[in-house]
Amino acid sequence: MKIAFIGQPNAGKSTIFNGLAGYKTVTANFPGQTVHYTVSKVKVGNETFEIVDLPGIYSLTAIDMAELESRKYILSGQADVVINVIDASTLSRSLELTLQLAELQVPMVICLNMIDEARRKGVEISQEKLSQIFGVPVIETVANKGIGLDKIFSSAKQAYYEKLIPKIQFFHKDIEEKIEEIEKIIPYEFLKNIPRRYIAIKLLEGDKELFEIIGKYPEILKKINDLREEIKTTHGRHADTVISSERHALAMNLFEDVAKVGEPLKSFREKVDDLLTNKYLGYPLLFLILFGIFFIVFEVGKIIEEPLTEIFNSLIKRLPEFVQENSLLFFIFKGLLEGFSGGLGVAIPYLIPFFIGLTILEDIGYLPRMAFLMDTVMHRIGLHGKSILPFVISYGCNVPGVMATRILESPRDRFITATLSVLIPCAARTTVIFGLIGAYIGGFAAAGLYLFNMFVIMILGAILTKFIPETAGLIMEIPPLRIPAIKNVFMKTWLRLKDFMVVAWPLLIISSIILSFLEYLELDLILNKIFSPVVSWLLGLPEQTGITLLFGILRKELSMIMLFQAMHTTQLNTVMSNLQLIVYTIFTIFYIPCVGTMGALLKELGFKRMILITILTIALALILALTSRIALSIII
């Protein structure tokens, strides 16, 4: 049995999905986190269920690519049962999507998630009444605490085997008459697997996709346009606006029927929220929170890193006791140890506290508040609106950050946002910043590099958006502040860390062995000579750093790990000056996106734009690194 979870952004679909399937996707207290669907199989007793986490959508009218992806999946008929996940604390708004899903006539379960939040707001919802109105099972859950998740599969089975199709809630008579007229004239072969009523409503709304298909029948298209004009004449508004208003009124009436609103419970959280988003105190608090994260990551990472790297260094020094020095076997074992050292001794000590900090900020709900504050600052340079979401996601990883650009309607906005997203320091670049700048120069220097990165992105954003018309300001749901569940924090941290351990670390070890093999054959000298005009002459870096930047294209943290190996020490401050460490780090942060990010760019934007962004990042990295070398050489 295939079960699809669908609902509005931030309703808790992914949290429910992870609670049922184990952690397969990273969730966040941030609207629109899921931008592609995730599939998993779950065995319950003797039965196997396939569950699908679809992107959050506000309606079945596909405005952006994420909504289009959800709609395509639902309309394909792949799902046996649809679980409509609703944020119970915003029931009246959420029911508008429920009304549209009912038109699809697929077995459905209504899941009232975050029921505790609704009760805290003084909203009491009658499950029985809501179930009676729609004729489908209604369950209550608190997904982040695992409450009520056991009811999902039993309710889905009930809906499927008893064919519990949701009851349609009808519009006013004049609109229903127009819908019936269109149903009668739709050809039998026209999307015959989709309910006639749903098609008729979407054609009345002027759905672009359906209009393109119905365009093959000119007479029918003319009749539909005539009916749309009649609605406009009668109501004084376009047909899609009229239907949207009808749906909104239905949702409000349903809410009044099934819910009672009492006095909300006064909470300390509201007072904290007011402080975090205050136009005067919000910004210093933002700075303190981010600085606190950087300080903790640096201090914790440093404490763990030093003893671990010392262990591996001593093992490498003792290697000639077991294997003949300068033999091929010696170089292979040396590369193997340096690869393990780079991951366990350098990358992981900084990644663990960083991922924990990022997860806590996500689950608390601070990231959308940070986006709200930053929108005010960035509005004038075009970095506003929905573009904030890909930027915030990119701090974890640029790949989902680029994929998140599909929520943007304009191709130009998607290109600009993707270009800027690949410049944001992801977890891999964060490892480089803390491993090189934080470890050898200090935490303030590492924080300064982040501020420098933000400044560059703002300037580049202003340049790229200069000739592009202003888009709408930021319209984004701000979810309530929540206390993060400790289990969720550690599970999400593990999910992110597992990606490094399963993908990056083996790649790191293999790359380390390859570099050792190149050293054995002395091919590294040839490659370094090829790169020396840029690396040595232009950037003033040691010649042997050239080959390390090549490995950085695979994964950004590889450039740092390979640097330890190329320089034959983990104490880089003994072989490189502070200026060289800063120039190397700046170049690494901005040059060519990693292979995974380039794959995402290719998928989302196409080959030409991927190449254009790659060339832009190389040019930007060279300019910034060279400028930094010249400017800092005067200061340092």
506 is in an annotated binding site: no
Other CB atoms within 10 A of residue 271 CB: 10
524 annotated among ligand-binding-site residues = no
User: According to the annotation, is 12 in a ligand binding site?
Assistant: yes
CA dihedral for 170, 171, 174, 179, sign (positive or negative): negative
Q: Closest Cα to residue 136, out of 118, 114, 160?
A: 160
Residue 382 known to bind ligand: no
Query: 18 among the known binding-site residues?
Result: yes
Give dist(CA 254, CA 247) in Å, integer. 11
Is 113 annotated to bind a ligand? Reply is yes
* C-alpha span between 435 and 350 (Å, rounded): 8
- With H, G, I as helix, E, B as strand and everything else as coil, classify residue 188: coil
Q: Does the annotation list 425 as a binding residue? A: no
Distances from the Cα of 522 to the Cαs of 265, 276, 519, in angstroms?
71, 57, 5
Residue 278 marked ligand-binding? no
SS (H, E, C) 534-555: HHHHHCCCCHHHHHHHHHCCCC
User: Phi, psi at residue 500, to the nearest 5°?
Assistant: -70, -45
Residue 332 class from Cβ within 10 Å (0-12 exposed, 13-18 middle, 19+ buried)? middle
Annotated binding-site residue? 264: no
Cα(155)–Cα(108) distance, integer angstroms:
9
Task: Round to whole Å and give the CA distance between 463 and 459.
Answer: 6
* 281 has binding-site annotation: no
267 is in an annotated binding site: no
Question: Which long-range contacts link 225-234 to residues 24+ away (Cβ below 8 Å)?
Answer: 227/178, 227/181, 227/182, 228/204, 230/178, 231/174, 231/175, 231/178, 231/204, 234/174
273 annotated among ligand-binding-site residues: no
The rounded distance, in Å, linking the Cα atoms of 477 and 394 is 20
Would you say 53 is a known binding-site residue?
yes
Whether residue 173 is annotated as binding a ligand: the answer is no
CA angle in degrees (0–180, nearest 5) for 55-58-59: 100
Among candidate residues 335, 398, 333, 312, the one with its CA nearest the CA of residue 562: 335
Helical axes 578-590 vs 443-464, angle rounded to 10°: 40
10 is in an annotated binding site: yes
Please state the residue numbers annotated as binding site for Mg(2+).
18-19, 22
Residues annotated within the binding site for GTP are 7-14, 53-56, 113-116
- Mark the binding-site residues, compressed into ranges: 7-14, 18-19, 22, 53-56, 113-116
